[in-house]
Structure 1
């Protein structure tokens, strides 16, 4: 089985331009910085010093490099070779190739932590991917998933990008074009929670990310610390506010796998 991405039709030249823009957003822009400033403190308390980590869809390797610097053993998988070509000084174990290549490589491996961050929205064979990854998770292990939310996506499309048609498509469960990748097909938290429950995983924590900072398109003000620091504090304050959770652009869900023979 190939690792299928929705609507990946751009020429290599156009795709590289998108990759370069996305790279800048991840490493250079304040909205990229803020995502990781929110994500890492949510993730780290769920890791132990000897955690063996697999990151499925490792992209440019920012999360993976950070975790390796914290002393963790990290394996990343990224099928997009254009992203890998833009990485520099990567020292964690990096896998690539088709999904079948990946599955064959890791079939006898086990991981204490599996990360699937902003990936499953772009994958046609979502169940197949999850089935493989969950089979690699150790008893008592942690699954961290970052995903788009339905209502947060609608707000940002309609109010932030002045694209009510895209917001309507999300509401009607249609795929919509993303800014940096192929089409996004948003899926529900409840579907995910029910699916992983079949593999003895229970939801431990959930966080909202990007409630507000992606709505305004005023890039100039976002380059200032007078905007960044209060916005970061605001996002940190509301990250676990369950009233606001549905309208966050991204949801971060952390699951734990029940240990066998647990009384």
Structure 2
């Protein structure tokens, strides 16, 4: 997987951690929503049927393709094209922060998820971003803005609209989804 080794070290580490937490997955139907450059879609397409959805033309132009997964250019509205109970696993990693109507997105993903399926959500960590601003970038003003509850920006995607773990739990409860755990942990 040569594209994986070309990623920055921090991104390789993040993907390894998340993939380890998801465990070995074989013979499943997977949706990678907000697939970015397609690294996760390519990884899981080795042993699964994967559909990837990405709205950013820039990301799609850089996508690493192994022709084992289906790539769709689209956003939340593309989810309506799929039948209910279509996927065993839906991956939504660092995506909801860039969606205005998070509840609609989660509701639609819930509809697509098979009974007993898994919705994997990874979210930006506000306090990690505070430390990045303060320690790595020496930007105390932006760090304080984040501590005061203001949003941040990502160079590629624009405004990062943070949400809390409790928001995810609330959405899950409203949709009768059963959270596997409140916070991720390393084994």
TM score, norm. by length of structure 1: 0.63
**Equivalenced residues, count:** 183
Tell me whether 1:113 sits opposite 2:89 in the alignment: yes
* 4+ long deviations beyond 4 Å: none
Structure 1 residues 148, 28: closer, same or farther in 2, change over 3 A?
A: closer
Tell me whether 1:194 sits opposite 2:170 in the alignment: yes
Q: 2:61 aligns with which of 64, 85, 94?
A: 85
Query: Where does structure 2 lack aligned partners over 5 or more consecutive residues?
Result: none
**Alpha-carbon distance in 2 for matches of 1:67, 1:145:** 16
- Higher mean Cα deviation, 56-65 or 25-34? 25-34
Preserved contact between residue 75 and residue 94 of structure 1 (Cα < 8 Å): yes
**Alpha-carbon distance in 2 for matches of 1:66, 1:76:** 12
**Alpha-carbon distance in 1 for matches of 2:59, 2:49:** 21
Q: Which residue does 2:101 correspond to in 1?
A: 125
Structure 1 residues 98, 118: closer, same or farther in 2, change over 3 A?
A: closer
Q: Which residue does 1:57 correspond to in 2?
A: 34
**Alpha-carbon distance in 1 for matches of 2:82, 2:6:** 29
Q: 2:147 aligns with which of 149, 163, 171?
A: 171
**Alpha-carbon distance in 1 for matches of 2:4, 2:110:** 30
Preserved contact between residue 85 and residue 111 of structure 2 (Cα < 8 Å): no
Name the larger-Rg structure: 1
**Alpha-carbon distance in 2 for matches of 1:195, 1:65:** 29
Q: Which residue does 1:251 correspond to in 2?
A: none
Larger relative contact order, structure 1 or 2 (CA cutoff 8 Å, min sep 6): 1
**Alpha-carbon distance in 1 for matches of 2:4, 2:48:** 25
TM score, norm. by length of structure 2: 0.86
Q: 1:139 aligns with which of 107, 115, 139?
A: 115
Secondary structure of residue in 2 paired with 1:192: helix
Cα-Cα RMSD: 2.2
